[in-house]
């Protein structure tokens, strides 16, 4: 059985994951409009991953005897000046998400909820990977600078990213 405190915190995180999905879909749209389909693809995969994360949390709340509470999702930024700005915003956002999962884990510790600790560890590990991937893209964009061919080449590389559902894990 899940504590009310943890249930409320997990429901807030479900909302935060849907916000993240919306945020990345907005980035995908901005890239698509600017003729960068590979970058758009990378963000669309992010969008799908965040939806999966929300569903994973949603399912866990139910499995532990809680009730998911869906809330309104706030609006998001809709345009950026450069790919570097997009990924800088992405890293800042992912660091906030990491902090949120760390707080959830702390609540699970305080509530002596060992099942929740085990469940949340997956998300904490996922956040390490998320931040690492974004930092690598930021580093590459800094190296590329204003080089059009470099941006074109990176766009082609990012088009190969595919979505793998986290729900089976």
- Contact status, residue 105 vs residue 117, Cβ threshold 8 Å: yes
Sign of CA dihedral 141, 147, 150, 151: positive
Across the range 92-101, mean pLDDT stands at: 98
pLDDT band at 161 (very low <50, low <70, confident <90, very high): very high
Is 70 exceeded by the pLDDT of residue 13?
yes
The ranges assigned to domains in the chain are: 4-158
Is 90 exceeded by the pLDDT of residue 167?
no
- pLDDT for the residue 118: 97
Please classify residue 150 by burial: count the beta carbons closer than 10 Å to its beta carbon, then call 0-12 exposed, 13-18 middle and 19+ buried: middle
Tokens of 88: 């800088």
The overall pTM is greater than 0.85: yes
Homologous superfamily, domain 4-158: Ferritin, core subunit, four-helix bundle (1.20.1260.10)
Closest C-alpha among 119, 56, 126, 64 to residue 97: 126
Is 90 exceeded by the pLDDT of residue 168?
no
């Amino acid at each position: 059985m899940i504590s009310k405190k943890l249930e409320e915190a997990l429901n807030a995180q479900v909302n935060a994951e849907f916000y993240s999905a919306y945020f990345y879909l907005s980035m995908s749209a901005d890239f698509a409009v600017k003729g960068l389909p590979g970058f758009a693809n990378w963000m669309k995969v992010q969008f799908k991953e965040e939806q999966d994360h929300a569903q994973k949390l949603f399912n866990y709340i139910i499995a532990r005897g809680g009730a998911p509470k869906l809330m309104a999702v706030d609006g998001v930024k809709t345009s950026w000046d450069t790919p570097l700005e997009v990924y800088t915003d992405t890293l800042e956002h992912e660091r906030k998400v990491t902090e949120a999962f760390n707080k959830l884990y702390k609540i699970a510790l305080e509530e002596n909820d060992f099942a929740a600790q085990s469940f949340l560890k997956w998300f904490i590990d996922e956040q390490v990977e998320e931040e690492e991937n974004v930092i690598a893209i930021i580093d590459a964009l800094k190296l590329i600078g204003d080089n059009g061919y470099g941006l074109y080449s990176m766009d082609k590389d990012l088009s190969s990213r595919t979505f793998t559902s986290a729900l089976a894990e």
